């Protein structure tokens, strides 16, 4: 009976000792663990914010280096005398002759590229060609002087349709393109050919060329 009684008195004492050990678990370890977790969380937030800021800066920089351009005026070509200007190029302008000067403004045009004026949608077969598809006629448009925000460009002697006045009105689309230096070199080589100058090309196989602005005109 005494042995059993001793065991019953010893066991509760050991359980009590265990509880005492749990209560005396080092508090500094708890504080350290909480501090590390908090620092990691704050660090993750800071890294995310920094990455967001970098992305926003990259987007802003990309926007500043993305070329833009606008066709603002068309002037009929004349060897002498006054040169009539198309007054409203955004309202279905009617053209009375073949050759025009086109001009406008551009901004953020990279040095490693060029601007081109492309006349297409001729709505007629090119002379001497049986292919009835539309052909693209390309004219380089060099950049000129600068203002505070824009740079001026001018496309000299842009040919719109055939030399003679059409029997029925014909529609054309004139598009200002930016092409990088690699494609610009290919274009300049292509348009040096008399066949391309006279008959155009059936497509625009230059992947970097980006449309900046377009207007629609009618030759009558």
Q: For residue 217, count other CB atoms closer than 10 A to its CB.
A: 21
Measure Cα distances from 27 to 15, 23, 79, 201 in Å: 22, 10, 96, 81
What is the pLDDT, as a whole number, of residue 54? 57
What is the pLDDT, as a whole number, of residue 62? 46
With bands split at pLDDT 50, 70 and 90, how would you rate the model's confidence at 1?
Answer: very low
Measure Cα distances from 45 to 35, 48, 50, 160, 178 in Å: 15, 5, 9, 59, 41
What is the pLDDT, as a whole number, of residue 8? 45
With bands split at pLDDT 50, 70 and 90, how would you rate the model's confidence at 189?
Answer: very high
- Work out the mean pLDDT of the chain and round it to a whole number: 80
The burial of 209, by beta-carbon neighbours within 10 Å (0-12 exposed, 13-18 middle, 19 or more buried), is given as: buried
Write the pLDDT tens digit of every residue in 24-72: 557 776 677 777 777 787 777 767 666 656 565 555 454 456 899 999 9
User: Does the pLDDT at position 98 exceed 50?
Assistant: yes
pTM of the model: 0.68
Measure Cα distances from 50 to 44, 60, 179 in Å: 10, 15, 34
CA nearest 103: which of 43, 149, 158, 65?
158
What is the pLDDT, as a whole number, of residue 9? 47
Cβ pair 102, 154 in contact under 8 A: yes
Cβ pair 117, 174 in contact under 8 A: yes
The Cα–Cα gap between 145 and 16 comes to 92
Bigger pLDDT: 207 vs 33: 207
User: Does the pLDDT at position 10 exceed 50?
Assistant: no
What is the pLDDT, as a whole number, of residue 40? 80
Letter string b/e over residues 106-138, b meaning 16 or more CB atoms within 10 A of that residue's CB: beebeeebbbbbbbbebeeebeeeeeeebbbbb
Write the pLDDT tens digit of every residue in 130-160: 665 678 999 999 998 776 678 999 998 999 9
Query: Which residues, in sequence order, are CB contacts of 105 under 8 Å at separation 6+?
Result: 69, 70, 72, 147, 150, 151, 152, 153
Query: Of all helices (H) and strands (E), which one includes residue 137?
Result: strand 137-140
- What secondary structure, in 3-state letters, does 160-219 show? CCCCCCCCCCEEEEEEEEEEEHHHHHHHHHHCCCHHHHHHCECCCCCCCCEEEEEEEEEE
What is the pLDDT, as a whole number, of residue 129? 57
What is the pLDDT, as a whole number, of residue 215? 95
């Amino acid at each position: 009976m005494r042995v059993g009684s001793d065991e019953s008195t010893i066991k509760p004492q050991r359980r009590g000792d265990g509880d005492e050990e749990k209560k005396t678990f080092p508090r500094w370890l708890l504080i350290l663990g909480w501090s590390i977790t908090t620092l990691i969380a704050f660090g993750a937030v800071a890294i995310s914010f920094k990455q967001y800021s970098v992305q926003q800066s990259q987007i802003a920089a990309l926007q500043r280096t993305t070329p833009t351009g606008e066709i603002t005026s068309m002037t009929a070509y004349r060897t002498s005398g006054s040169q009539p200007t198309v007054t409203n190029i955004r309202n279905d302008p009617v053209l009375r002759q073949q050759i025009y000067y086109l001009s406008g403004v551009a901004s953020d045009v990279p040095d490693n590229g060029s601007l081109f004026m492309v006349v297409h949608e001729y709505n007629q077969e090119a002379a001497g060609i049986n292919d009835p598809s539309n052909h693209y006629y390309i004219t380089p448009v060099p950049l000129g002087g600068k203002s505070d925000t824009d740079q001026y460009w001018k496309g000299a002697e842009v040919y719109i349709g055939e030399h003679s006045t059409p029997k029925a009105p014909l529609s054309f689309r004139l598009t200002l393109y930016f092409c990088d230096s690699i494609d610009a070199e290919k274009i300049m080589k292509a348009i040096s050919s008399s066949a391309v100058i006279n008959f155009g090309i059936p497509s625009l196989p230059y992947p970097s060329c980006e449309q900046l602005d377009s207007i629609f005109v009618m030759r009558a």
